[in-house]
Amino acid sequence: MKVLLLKDVYKLGRAGDVKRVADGYGRNYLLPQGLAVLATPGALSQVERIREKATAQRAILNKEMDAVAQRLAGIVLTFSAKASETGKLYGSVSTQMIAEAITQKAGTEIARRQVDAQPLRSLGEYKVRVRLTVDLIPEVKVIVHREGESPAGAPVEAQPQAVAVPAETPAPEAPAAEPAA
């Protein structure tokens, strides 16, 4: 099925592009969401108008999101996780966890679908891309370190904690069971 895109669609194309897509994708997602229309001769005559309108909207959106991109570019997120001796995590740092940390740290609502990464499954330092718009994709630094260690790899200084240690007293002897008569 050939469709004319009305809006930018991630991993497919920009507004005004004519694309061949699977029938189900076009019929069940693109058309109902208002992202595309069938590529009929009447629709194709409006390609230039759609492209101009989309370019203007894209410029406005990029201008608004530029401040957010600047804030995100300097963010460093750290996650502590349980890991094996080889550095493999017992779980993973998911895109949902990264999105929540960015939202909390930057004060900007980021959806997990905007985080362009696979779940992080080993210790280390990563650059994770955040898709704000088609053109604005800042990178966030993510550090995954082992629990009980600092992000640089040195062990965390243990704070002395008061631990109640019972005095060594002999355990009370259990009373002898009386024989049943």
Structure token pair of residue 77 = 């997120």
77 domain-assigned:
yes
Q: What backbone torsions phi and psi does residue 35 show, to the nearest 5 degrees?
A: -85, -20
pLDDT at 27: 95
Instruction: Quote the number of domains for the chain.
Output: 2
Q: Are residues 77 and 123 in the same domain?
A: yes
- Mean pLDDT, each 10-residue run in order, the chain (181 residues): 91 91 95 93 90 90 87 89 91 92 89 90 92 88 87 46 41 52 49
95-106 and 47-73 helices cross at what angle (nearest 10)?
A: 70
160 domain-assigned:
no
Whether 102 contacts 116, CB under 8 Å: no
pLDDT at 166: 42
DSSP state of 112: G
20 domain-assigned:
yes
Burial class from Cβ neighbours inside 10 Å (0-12, 13-18, 19+) for residue 93 reads buried
141 domain-assigned:
yes
pLDDT at 99: 93
What is the domain-level CATH number for residue 80?
3.10.430.100
Q: Report if pTM > 0.85.
A: no
Q: Give the domain range for residue 93.
A: 70-146
What is the domain-level CATH number for residue 30?
3.40.5.10
What region does 16 belong to: left with phi over 0, alpha with psi -120 to 50, or beta?
A: left
168 domain-assigned:
no
pLDDT at 161: 37
Burial class from Cβ neighbours inside 10 Å (0-12, 13-18, 19+) for residue 122 reads middle
131 domain-assigned:
yes
pLDDT at 177: 52
